[in-house]
Each structure stands twice: as structure tokens, then as C-alpha cells.
């Protein structure tokens, strides 16, 4: 049995970024399925790719790389071109592939559904669709898409995708509710982003790691790892850091790992600080992220104050759970429920950076709370959100549609 997995941003654990598609592919291989992933080559594995389309074996996974540039620093027009280019080339690849029993297409962007739909209509191949963000609602609310005719078309395409898929997988309760506006609830499953308890875990802090990355050995460290984009609440963090700086506190260090359009704003902020330290480490492979997060005290998971972003299922939160780190969240949605119900973090108001400062100060002076919430976080990762649990659940859904 052969599964074609369309995931534009396929990454391995040796790279920076989400590895969800890698672990799902490995689970399917373990069950005896043949898995072919179609992704773009804008990754460590494919960055020097000469061919437009190249095929390689990656840890037992058959991967078709499409040469296609993409970056969070792109403007809206550049992103649309990148998405469209991948969509058309992926459609060519998808229709060319033979003996496919199921297509599993995972957004974002929504355009990855196009080749899956054509494969179904032309070759009568079943497909399952995964919603990792609600499109087009997310870019509409963020102001990226404004043309009313284009919005109308994208909403039609979204509903067409949902109605033609055999099953839909969502990553949060909010996403599930968004999908269930158009299809029956029995057609939808919720399988969130995954904790990785064997890649992130609690151990002794290593001074050598601090030295390697230029971090302080004595500071109270707050870590942010992930995209530094317009939707990620970086302006909120900048406001909070500025307030902490004004309090003349010298033992706090913010560690940022990631790339995005707001990175330059963080660099500019760093130049004007004399009390708070900011370390900007760029995008890091998972091994380095795990080491650095382990050396920090508290994680931060923020988003801009836009309603649709409350439905998010952020990777960084689940990795922080695995690492045994309490998390400060500012999204009044599912992430707030997680940290409050399981006592593994603090929710702060996205309109009040002072609330963020208060949370940082509370954690800084209450080390017992940091330890207790960290232990709760690790237990939650092990019992509910680990990839070993969730990959099996997702593979079960796919098997039911074969």
C-alpha cells in the first residue's frame, strides 16, 4: 500500500523547523506502508538542488524535492508566487505518480489541496486533508489578503477541499470548530502538534552550551524559539522587554532562536539595552534547540492579538512541555486552557505587556513554582502529547480511509 504525503515544509530532526511530517512518515513505514513525500527543496537537504524536481531516499522515506524558494521575510506577492509554483509542480508530480492508494495533503498553505483534489477527480484516489492553520481566514484577518473577489474564491476552494476529502485532521479544538462549520463532525479528527520526549528532556544544565552560544551562566533565561514573524507577537515581547529594562534589573536574559521579518526589530532593541541581555541565535537544528532550551528557565509562546490565532497549535509549546519548562502564553484560546488546566505555565493579556513583565518577575523570584510547573509540563508531554501517542492516532485515521 502506498501513501503520497504532500507537505510543503517537510523537515528532518537534523534541520530547524517542524518535524511532524517526518515522524508521521516513520510511523507509516513502521506499519509496512510505502511513503512518498512531496515537499519543496528550500531545506538543509535540498538547498543546493540543481534539478527542478529531484528524488531521494531520506531515512527510508521516498522524498520528491521541488526546487522552490520560500522565506518568512517574503512579502505577500512573493509568497503567493512561491505557493503557486509549488502547487503547479506538485500537481505534475502527483498526477505522474502511479499505484497511489491514498493522498495525505497537509496545509499550510491551502494550495496543497489542489493536487490532491485533481488526483481524486482524475484517478479516483482517496485523500485525507490536514489543517495546520485555518486558511484563508488566517491571512485575511492578518490583512495579507484583502481583495474581496479573491477572498470569495479562496473560501469556496476551502469548502470544496473539506467536502471532497474522505477525512480531515485538525490540530486544535478551534481549528476543528472552524472546519465543522462546513462538514459533519464525524468527518473530523483533532490530533495536535506533538511533544518529542526523546528529543527534549530535563537534564543537568551544561555550562559548555552557554559558552558555545554566548549565553550567560548566571542569568534567568526566557527562551523563544520559532518564527519571528508578523503573527508571532514579537512587538508584544519588545514592549515587555523595554519595561523590564526600565526597572534596572540586570540578571534577565532573553534567548531568541528563529528567523523572520521581526528579527531586525529585535536586533535594534538589543542595541539600546544596558540591563536586559538579548541573545539572537537564528534558526537552529533540533539538537541545538534542545540543549539551549534545557539551559533556560521559562519558555515564551506568543501571538499577535488577532482572533484567528487563538486556534493555533504551536510546536514551541509542545517542545517546551517535553523539555520540562513552564510557558508564558498570551493567546486566549487552547494554549491558555492547557497552561491553566495542567498548571504548566501562565497566561498573560496580549493587550497588556505589563502582565508579561509580571509573569517574568513571578517566575524569577519563585523557583519552586518554576520547578513544579516544569514537572507538570513534562508529565503532560509524556502522558498526552508525545509523538509516539499522536503518530499512532494519526496513522489509525489514515488506515481507516485506505
Q: pLDDT, tens digit, for every residue of 155-168? A: 999 999 999 999 99
pLDDT tens for 242-276 read 999 999 999 999 999 999 999 999 999 999 999 99
Please state, for a pLDDT cut of 90, what percent of the chain lies above it: 86
Other Cβ atoms closer than 10 A to 121? 10
Chain-wide mean pLDDT for the chain?
A: 94
In this prediction, residue 43 carries a pLDDT of 54
pLDDT band for position 302 (50/70/90)?
A: very high
Q: Which three cell numbers stand for residue 351?
A: 493587550
Residue 14: exposure state from Cβ atoms within 10 A (0-12, 13-18, ≥19): middle
pLDDT band for position 16 (50/70/90)?
A: confident
Span 2-194+386-401 CATH architecture: 3-Layer(aba) Sandwich (3.40)
For residues 224 and 357, what is the distance between their CA atoms, to the nearest angstrom? 15
42 near 53, Cβ under 8 Å?
no
Q: Where are the domains of the chain?
A: 2-194+386-401, 207-385
For residues 115 and 105, what is the distance between their CA atoms, to the nearest angstrom? 9
Element (H, E) at 220: strand 220-225
Scored b (16 or more CB within 10 A) or e, 299-312 reads bbbbbbbbebbbbb
Q: Which three cell numbers stand for residue 232?
A: 508571532
Q: Which three cell numbers stand for residue 384?
A: 498526552
In this prediction, residue 42 carries a pLDDT of 63
277-280 and 252-257 strand pairing: parallel
In this prediction, residue 362 carries a pLDDT of 98
Question: In terms of CATH, what superfamily is 207-385?
Answer: Glycogen Phosphorylase B; (3.40.50.2000)
pLDDT tens for 195-223 read 999 999 999 999 999 999 999 999 999 99
E-assigned strand segments in 283-386: 298-301, 327-329, 345-347
Torsion sign (Cα): 202, 205, 210, 211: negative
Equal fold, 2-194+386-401 vs 207-385: yes
pLDDT tens for 354-367 read 999 999 999 999 99
Please check the confidence at residue 44 and state whether its pLDDT lies above 80.
no
Amino acid at each position: 500500500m502506498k501513501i503520497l504525503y504532500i507537505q510543503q515544509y517537510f523537515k528532518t530532526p537534523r534541520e530547524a523547523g517542524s518535524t511532524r511530517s517526518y515522524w508521521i512518515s516513520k510511523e507509516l513505514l513502521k506499519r509496512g506502508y510505502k511513503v512518498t513525500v512531496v515537499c519543496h527543496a528550500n531545506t538543509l537537504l535540498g538547498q543546493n538542488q540543481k534539478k527542478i524536481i529531484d528524488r531521494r531516499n531520506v531515512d527510508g522515506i521516498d522524498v520528491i524535492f521541488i526546487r522552490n524558494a520560500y522565506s518568512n521575510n517574503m512579502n505577500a506577492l512573493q509568497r503567493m508566487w512561491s505557493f503557486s509554483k509549488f502547487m503547479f509542480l506538485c500537481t505534475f508530480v502527483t498526477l505522474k505518480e502511479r499505484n497511489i492508494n491514498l493522498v495525505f495533503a497537509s496545509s499550510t498553505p491551502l494550495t496543497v489541496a489542489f493536487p490532491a483534489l485533481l488526483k481524486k477527480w482524475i484517478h479516483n484516489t482517496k485523500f485525507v486533508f490536514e489543517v495546520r492553520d485555518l486558511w484563508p481566514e488566517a491571512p485575511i484577518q492578518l490583512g495579507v489578503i484583502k481583495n474581496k473577489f479573491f477572498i470569495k474564491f479562496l473560501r469556496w476552494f476551502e469548502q470544496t477541499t473539506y467536502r471532497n476529502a474522505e477525512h480531515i485532521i485538525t490540530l486544535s479544538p478551534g481549528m476543528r470548530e472552524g472546519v465543522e462549520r462546513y462538514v459533519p463532525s464525524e468527518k473530523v479528527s483533532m490530533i495536535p502538534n506533538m511533544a518529542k520526549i526523546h528529543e527534549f528532556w530535563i537534564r543537568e544544565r551544561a555550562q559548555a552550551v552557554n559558552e558555545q552560544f554566548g549565553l550567560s551562566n548566571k542569568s534567568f533565561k526566557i527562551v523563544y524559539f520559532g518564527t519571528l514573524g508578523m503573527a508571532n507577537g514579537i512587538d508584544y515581547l519588545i514592549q515587555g522587554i523595554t519595561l523590564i529594562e526600565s526597572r534596572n534589573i540586570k540578571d534577565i536574559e532573553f534567548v531568541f532562536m528563529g528567523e523572520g521579518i521581526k528579527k531586525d526589530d529585535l536586533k535594534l532593541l538589543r542595541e539600546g539595552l544596558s540591563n536586559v541581555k538579548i541573545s539572537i541565535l537564528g534558526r537552529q537544528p533540533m539538537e541545538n534547540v534542545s540543549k539551549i532550551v534545557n539551559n533556560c528557565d521559562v519558555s515564551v509562546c506568543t501571538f499577535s492579538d488577532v482572533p484567528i490565532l487563538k486556534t493555533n497549535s504551536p510546536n514551541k509549546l509542545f517542545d517546551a512541555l517535553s523539555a520540562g519548562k513552564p510557558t508564558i502564553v498570551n493567546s486566549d484560546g487552547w494554549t491558555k486552557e492547557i497552561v491553566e488546566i495542567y498548571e504548566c505555565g501562565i497566561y498573560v493579556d496580549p493587550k497588556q505587556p505589563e502582565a508579561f513583565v509580571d509573569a517574568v518577575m513571578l517566575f524569577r523570584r519563585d523557583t519552586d513554582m518554576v520547578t513544579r510547573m516544569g514537572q507538570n509540563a513534562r508529565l503532560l508531554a509524556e502522558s498526552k502529547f508525545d509523538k509516539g501517542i499522536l503518530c499512532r492516532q494519526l496513522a489509525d485515521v489514515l488506515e481507516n480511509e485506505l
